[in-house]
Structure 1
Amino acid sequence: MTGTATRTLIRSATIVTMDDRLGDLASADLLVEGGQIIDIGPNIAASDADVIDGRDRIVIPGLINAHMHTWQTALRGYAANWTLLEYFRRMHAGLATLFTPDDIYIATVMGALNQINMGVTTLVDWCHNNPTPAHTDAAVRALLESGIRAAFFHGSPKPEPKPGEPHFSEVPHPRHEVERLLAGPLSDRNGLVTLGLAILGPHYSTLDVSLQDFRLAKEFGLVASMHQGGGPAKTSGGWEKLIEAGLVGPGVNIVHGNDLSDDLLARFVDLGVSFSVTPENEMIQGHGFPITGRLLKVGARPSIGIDLESVLAGDLIAVARVALSTQRALDNAEARRAGGPIPATTTIPVREALRWITIEGARMLGREAEIGSLSVGKRADLVVIDAGALNMSPVHDPVSTVVMQTGLTNIEAVMIDGVWKKRAGRLLAGGIEDKQQELARSGRRLVHDIERQQAA
């Protein structure tokens, strides 16, 4: 098989559509043409299609990684023992300042390819190490080359200011870079790689900067995503002032949010704000427990991200499992503290976790009409899972098998926009071995240089 788009029929598969109208189909066909799903159901007639045997296979929507700093791929595991405060000091004020555009490129392309390998078809690349346009362009080029569907969230670096320079919290998001990207490499708003803004927000910037950045995102119709948490806020009462200015609503995305009050959380939900949690990293680095359950209580759902491969593995299904298990544990502990027994039934079904990494990721991006579920008319982003493997069989509930059993070796094939990016367990991208060596060289140089700098 080649990676070229074609008319493709997956025959006799278990299909977990994540479309509430279609549900799960025990043995059904799925037909793709021109990058779009054009039919789902039993016994589809398509004599001219490339037919894929779907027996003992589970087909799911392509996974959506809602938050990852892909530029850190060459530093895998290097920050695994750091708290959040150590991360700020040693990554942003240290290692990040040593990155060349070539470092950004190789980290981003290899990070994106690994996401495809793990079943992710849409990556929200939160790129906040781009001190020059060349760094930004290297990241965008890498995403385009990888073939992944991506939202490139353009951010800003966080070095310690030199004498005479303003602190990064006092620097508005660069309007000229937004205009340049929209006029150049990201001009196609319906393309495979699109633009969003990774702004500072009121937790990490002055009120004037927040107001300018929110207005910038609104003017250009871009998602405005920001970290919320990690020490005291830069602007006390900043969110209230942004709400009063009419700048908080759909298109605003809060990452983490662990320390938000219940009242403010509920207010955000009423306003249409989306949330992306990174549960495994939040607990590792000291953000606090994920707000998954708190969101569910006020009628909202999170999207989920990996966050940092410099800390943990880029396995989105595993991170969804962590989110599910953590919230169940918190719910069980709360029930027992209240003097009751263990809850009579689980508080969160497994299907919820699959929603968080599919349709909720699409909703955060405002693209639920195009991706996030397997539905006729949507883009053909899908994952084929080998359910006949030793660690998977027998399958009693396909959703439970996907969330609770699936690992990398079970991700057999990945399609993005109707094009196979992985088949028979193998990525179809070329030059991977050479790129792996380049990634290793980049990582070794960065670590060597920062350790030499610290020893001086």
Structure 2
Amino acid sequence: MFEARRVATLGPMTRTLVRGGHVLTMDPALGDLPTGDVLVEDGTIVAVAPSLEVTDAEVIDASGHLVLPGLVDTHRHTWQSLVRGICGDWTLGDYYFGIRLAISPAYTADDVRLGALDALNAGVTTLLDFSHCNNTPDHSDAAVLGLRDTGIRAAFCYGFFESSPEATRFGEHSARLADYHRIADTYFPTDDGLLTLGVSLSELFGLPWDRTVAELAAARERRALIVNHTGCVWGSVLTGGVRELDALDLLGPDMVHVHCNTLDDAEWEALARSGGKVSISVETELNMGMGRPVFERCRRHGLAPTLSADVISLNSGDLWHELRFGLGWTRWEGTDAVNLAGAMPEAVTTTAKEAMAWSTVNAADALGLGDRIGSLTPGKRADLQLVGGGAVEQHPRIDPYATLVFQATAADVRTVLVDGRVVKRDGVLTGVDLPRLTADADTAAAAILGRVRDAGRALPGTPTGAFEALEPIARGFHDEAVRAAKARR
């Protein structure tokens, strides 16, 4: 159904001049250019200046637009785009039992291919795909190909999560590890393409500890990025594990820790000491009862925040929403004590420009791609976007960063380049048969939910006392990790 996402193939590299825009480089050495040009050659930014004398290039007229790096999403379950919005009134428990245990098994391999176009349309040129609907080898292949077909830049993070016995052909955990290595050999012979390799860990203490250690070893054998849901279930050892990983020297700068709402100071100190990265999913965390987004904890421990759209089954697929929610939250948190003392703050705690770093330079560094993307720096790859034009909410544009964070929508993203190739032009995704795509998505979603009903599943479907029932099992796996840590000492 989703074999051909683009009806026209991406064209060859061209020399492109983005001319006359208000250039926000996100590079402190270059700063901002109220009127500037960006020259792209063979997918690389080769020059940024107030004016460039170039005659042999395709010209993209950026007058009246903001020109800035493409946004970077550090944690997205891209496969959930086909059940967009279904979690609108669900708790985290509803999500786990509804999406992970009921809907995921109902996905065919073809269903996991859709999702990245949503990101590109909103100016998200790079994402970390936390791909944990790999029910069969065919699902694994389709997830990679779905990213490749769109032309997005992505870290494909292979998920080992077992949704249910009837949904998978893998059986033993070793078979999943073998499939991961097959994917690595097939699609990731090098790490310098648009797609790079990663691993999404199974929920810590959701399976025997030796399997977690095996997943980490498999990731590091391939020098893959590692992402983990960390500290997001209150009153449980589930998704914890920072102390145990630290005791076994298994933390590292190659890990992106998502959420982190429940962590205490000792665990934060361990993350900071390890050089780990943090991804904050503001909309998910606030709406599903996961706790305070951890901007202040990051600041206190010297960690750079990044943002994620997380579950498209709940949230919008763009990062403008996350920026808006995140900046509002961190400003409230920074002034709450002042208000409670009966006073008003004299200044905001975080600026809109600082917030833009969350989804550009900070996020690029978190994915290990800071030398390639995240700023409009000559020598980096040409992932950029033009925002603005004639939209009424874009005028007047007094503060460009405030306009982006507080006013911009996906509709204001007019043109997008990834690696120098235009993937959206004048507000329209290139090479995409949008009516066919949306019709196919509606049909596929109806079929998925039909299979859920046929399997006798009720949604949202959190069983009474479900987490309490899981806790003894998780405690057993936790104790296994503690014994391993003690033996090491």
TM-score under structure 2 normalisation?
0.86
Q: What is the match of residue 219 of structure 1? A: 221
**CA contact under 8 A between 2:102 and 2:452: conserved in structure 1?**
yes
Cross-structure match for 1:412: 414
Instruction: Measure how far apart 1:52 and its partner are.
Output: 2.1
> In the alignment, is residue 314 of structure 1 matched against residue 322 of structure 2?
no
Q: How big is the shift at 1:331?
A: 1.8
Residues 20-419 of structure 1 correspond to what in structure 2 (within 5 A)? 20-105=28-113, 108=114, 111-160=115-164, 171=173, 174-200=176-202, 202=204, 204-228=206-230, 229-234=232-237, 238-337=241-340, 339=341, 341-419=343-421
- The CA RMSD over aligned residues, in Å, is 2.2
For 2:152, the aligned partner's letter is I
Deviation readout 1:280-305 (Å, 9 max, x if unpaired): 01111111111112101222122111
Q: What secondary structure does 1:145 align onto?
A: helix
CA contact (8 A) 1:153 1:198 kept: yes
In 2, Cα distance between equivalents of 1:173 and 1:124 = 24
1:104-139: per-residue Cα shift (whole Å, max 9, x none)? 12xx3xx11111111010021111011211001011
Which of 418, 429, 432 aligns to 1:430? It is 432
Deviation at 1:437, TM superposition (A): 1.7
Q: Alpha-carbon deviations, 1:367-413, whole Å to 9, x = none?
A: 10100111000000000012543111111111111111111221110
Distance 1:292 1:172 in 2: 38
Are the equivalent residues in 2 in contact too, given 1:198–1:226 (CA < 8 A)? yes
Number of equivalenced pairs: 446
CA distance in 2, matches of 1:373, 1:360: 10
Runs of 5+ consecutive residues of structure 1 not aligned to the other structure: none
Return the alpha-carbon distance in structure 2 between the equivalents of residues 134 and 58 of structure 1.
Answer: 41
Kept in 1, the 8 Å contact 2:19–2:38? The answer is yes
The 1:455–1:6 alpha-carbon spacing in structure 2 relative to 1, beyond 3 Å, is: closer
Q: TM-score, normalised by structure 1?
A: 0.92
Matching residue's letter, 2:150:
S
Deviation of the 1:340 alpha carbon: 5.3
Residue 235 of structure 1: CA displacement?
7.0
Query: Contact 2:243/2:270 (CA < 8 Å) preserved in 1?
Result: no
Residue 454 of structure 1, CA deviation: 3.2
Q: Are residue 8 (structure 1) and residue 11 (structure 2) matched?
A: no
Q: List alignment gaps of at least 5 residues for structure 2.
A: 1-7, 459-489
Aligned-pair CA distance for 1:34: 0.3
Distance 1:399 1:379 in 2: 22
User: How many angstroms apart in 1 are the aligned matches of 2:148 and 2:247?
Assistant: 39
* 1:173–1:199 Cα contact (<8 Å) kept: no
The one-letter amino acid of 1:44's match is L
Per the TM alignment, residue 11 of structure 1 is displaced from its structure 2 partner at its CA by 1.5
Aligned to 2:466: none
CA–CA separation in structure 2 for the residues paired with 1:341 and 1:172: 59
Q: Does the 8 Å CA contact 1:250/1:273 hold for their aligned counterparts? A: yes
In 2, are the aligned partners of 1:205 and 1:234 still within 8 Å (CA)?
A: no
How far does residue 453 in structure 1 lie from its aligned partner after superposition?
3.4
| Cα 1:414–1:173 shift into 2, 3 Å | farther
Deviation at 1:186, TM superposition (A): 2.3
Percent of counterpart pairs with the same letter? 33
Counterpart CA distance in 2 for 1:383 and 1:413 is 6
